[in-house]
Amino acid sequence: MQTFTDFEIVVVDNGSSDGSVALVEELARSFPRPIQLIENRENRGFCAANNQGFAASQSEYVALLNNDAEAEPGWLAAMFDAIRVKPAVGESDVGMVASKILVWEDPRIIDKCGHLIYPDGQNRGRGSGQLDQGQFNRQEEALWPDGCAALYRRAMLDEVGGFDEEFFAYADDAELGLRARIAGWTCLYAPGAVVRHHRGATLGLNSARRLTLIERNRVLLVVKLFPWNLLWLNGAYHLARIGAGLTAALRGKGEIRRYSGTKGKLMAARALIEGTLSALPLIPSMIRKRRAFRSKHRLSPKQVRRLLLRYRIPLRELSEQAT
């Protein structure tokens, strides 16, 4: 239960077969807050399902909570306070609130406290893997929130739109967050909004499909939203990241270490190549969306570049992390 009680619940079931629908229907009979259930016959992906939830609610603020995350009682209250009380930031400018997300299996470990990004478009959670020693206990600006546990202002969603459904899953929160930042909205990180997260619960941390989607959507994000002065350098940044990742893997660190043995490494390499190739047919669509969104820009290309570099994750930290 939440200490903040003025809310409605919209549950979007994405074609599950584990009895979730029956459980929600039973819970709705006695739960003290309204529960609206949307049933999809098939898995429509993270983006489409959350867009359904956005459309089903008319609230001024919309909070997202994945089914693999559990919020502490003060989660909603902390996010609501953050978006209403905004030190040194204009009231209408704050469109998103990021949670303090801890690892479910060991809540002493940080999963993410907002996001950072590398100039090739790969993003990571801020503080991911660090021991929580209070280093992220201050309310401050963040780049964007993680979609597993976030608060969005309705006015922002009405202006910039919801998740891009062509992304399906992964990097979708990055795309929405960066799109909103380019349109002039900002994000606050609320350290009191604490959530525990089962990482990789959707497809599994060592899933080839997961790697393919992450790589595909990295390319789509860059093409759709990066300023040209970073886009032209993307190949060089990408090669630097791949090289650093391979070096880290040889030392038993980083994302690729999850794929054990020669067979596992080859599977991961194939998944990354497939991700890049599967992005190619979608690039014309991203370019059309890039042009259509141009009228909503409030940041110049130079300002977008400066924003991305301000929240740049160091290459060594990125290559040695494992999501």
pLDDT per residue as tens digits for the range 183-233: 999 999 999 999 999 876 555 566 789 899 999 999 999 999 999 989 999
Q: In the predicted model, what is the mean pLDDT of residues 172-186?
A: 96
pLDDT at 1: 81
C-alpha span between 157 and 309 (Å, rounded): 25
Helix (H) or strand (E) holding 232: none
pLDDT at 250: 75
Structure tokens at 294: 């141009």
Instruction: Report the distance separating Cα 54 and Cα 77, nearest Å.
Output: 20
Q: What is the pLDDT of residues 273-323, one digit of tens each?
A: 999 999 999 999 999 999 999 999 999 999 999 999 999 999 988 887 765
From CA 266, how far away is CA 132, in angstroms rounded?
A: 34
Query: Does pTM top 0.95 for this prediction?
Result: no
- Higher-confidence position of 156 and 264: 156
Which one has a higher pLDDT value, 136 or 247?
A: 136
pLDDT at 256: 67
The dihedral through the CA atoms of 268, 211, 279, 127 has a sign that is: negative
Read off the pLDDT of residues 109-130 as tens digits, 9 standing for 90 and up: 999 999 999 999 999 999 999 9
What is the predicted pLDDT for the residue at 322?
Answer: 61
Beta bridge partners of 115: 125
Residue 314: both structure tokens together: 């160091």
139 near 168, Cβ under 8 Å? Answer: no
Predicted pLDDT of residue 127: 95
Structure tokens that stand for 42 in this block: 């098939």
What is the distance between the alpha carbons of residues 175 and 164, in angstroms, rounded to a whole number?
8
Lowest mean pLDDT among 92-101, 188-197, 246-255: 246-255
Got the DSSP string for 187-198? Answer: EEEEEEEEEEE-
pLDDT, tens only, 6-53: 999 999 999 998 889 999 999 999 888 889 999 999 999 999 999 999
Whole-number CA gyration radius for the chain: 19
Backbone angles phi, psi at 186, to 5 degrees: -130, 180
Q: Give residue 143's pLDDT.
A: 97
Q: 188: which strand partners? A: 97, 141
Pure H helices in 7-103 = 20-30, 45-56, 75-84
Look at residue 268 in the predicted model and tell me its pLDDT.
82
Q: How far apart are CA 276 and CA 223, in angstroms?
A: 12
pLDDT reading at 56 higher than 50: yes
Per-residue pLDDT at 85 exceeds 80: no
Residue 88 has pLDDT above 60, yes or no: no
| pLDDT value for 323 | 59
Whether pLDDT at 61 is above 80: yes
